[in-house]
Amino acid sequence: MAAARSAHPLAAVLRQVDPASCPTRFNFHCHTTCSDGSLAPAALADQALALGLEHLAVTDHHATGAHGEIHATFERAAGEGRPAPTLWRGVEISCLLEGCLVHVLGLGFAEEHPSLHAYLQGQAVVGAALRAEAVVEAIHAAEGLALLAHPARYRLPFQRLIAAADRLGFDGAEAWYDYGLQPRWSPTPLVCESIARELSQRRLLMSCGTDTHGLHLHGR
């Protein structure tokens, strides 16, 4: 599993993530009107271009409808000679981990892969498919990476959830997150450092993202 994780092209990018990467360099967690966000895909793409982002993943809940329009916007910008972010396919999937409802970020997976079909219908699945191991298996089958979103937002301690995620083959977690939900994104001190340390000790990948649901890509 570690070898497959290291071989994924996005892994090399995630290894560059640090507390200052977001929101102006990397953003691997944000939402559009294709799920519960307020930004239309084209508007989010325009803001990503204005911010000068290098890498972006839009992670709508159980939906990937924004990807095509954002990709087209970036292609037009590149055709005009403007720098455009590398766009990675993304989704946020609900699942049960240690009996706790959590969110998993699927990143860098193949387009239209059948293993993810059940998870891209606009709502959480039920039954055995809701278990974290099933979600991770589906993401890996689609050649993607599975990362635990905002580990300190759940009812169980992040240490327990990260340990369980590691056992199940998760590739990493969202290390840098604004738990204080400030107007302009900033990683939460102490909590984020502790999560990053836990991930580093386990040799898991770290991501960052604004978790934007509002009208500005520089914050939530």
pLDDT tens track for 24-48: 999 999 999 999 999 999 999 999 9
Q: Is residue 61 part of a domain?
A: yes
Crossing angle of helices 191-201 and 158-167, in 10° steps, is 30
- Averaged confidence pLDDT in the chain: 97
214: in domain: no
Nearby residues of 158 by Cβ (< 8 Å), 6 or more positions away: 151, 152, 191, 194, 195, 198
Residues in the chain: 220
pLDDT score for 6: 81
Give a yes or no: residue 216 inside a domain: no
Beginning with the edge strand found earlier in the chain, give each strand of the sheet holding 172-176 in spatial order: 26-27, 55-58, 86-97, 100-107, 145-148, 172-176, 205-208
pLDDT for 3 beyond 90: no
Q: How many domains does the chain have?
A: 1
Residue 191 within a domain = yes
Helices (H), the chain: 2-7, 9-14, 41-51, 67-79, 132-141, 158-167, 191-201
CB 147 within 8 A of CB 107: yes
Average pLDDT over residues 154-182: 98
Asked if 60 contacts 52 with a C-beta cutoff of 8 angstroms, the reply is no
What pLDDT was estimated at residue 208?
98
Helix or strand (DSSP H, E) at 101: strand 100-107
Structural domain harbouring 126 = 2-14+22-208
In a domain, 215, yes or no: no
Provide CB contacts within 8 A for 9, sequence distance 6+: 108
The CA distance from 108 to 116, in Å, is 13
Return the half-sphere exposure (C-beta side, CA atoms, 13 A cut-off) of residue 91: 28
Does the residue 199 lie in any domain? yes
Q: Answer whether residue 1 shows pLDDT above 80.
A: no
- Reference 200, options 172, 181, 158, 180; nearest CA is 172
Does residue 37 belong to any structural domain of this protein? yes
| CATH code for the domain of 147 | 3.20.20.140
Looking at residues 14-27, what average pLDDT do you find? 98
Give this prediction's pTM. 0.96
**Within-domain flag for 218:** no
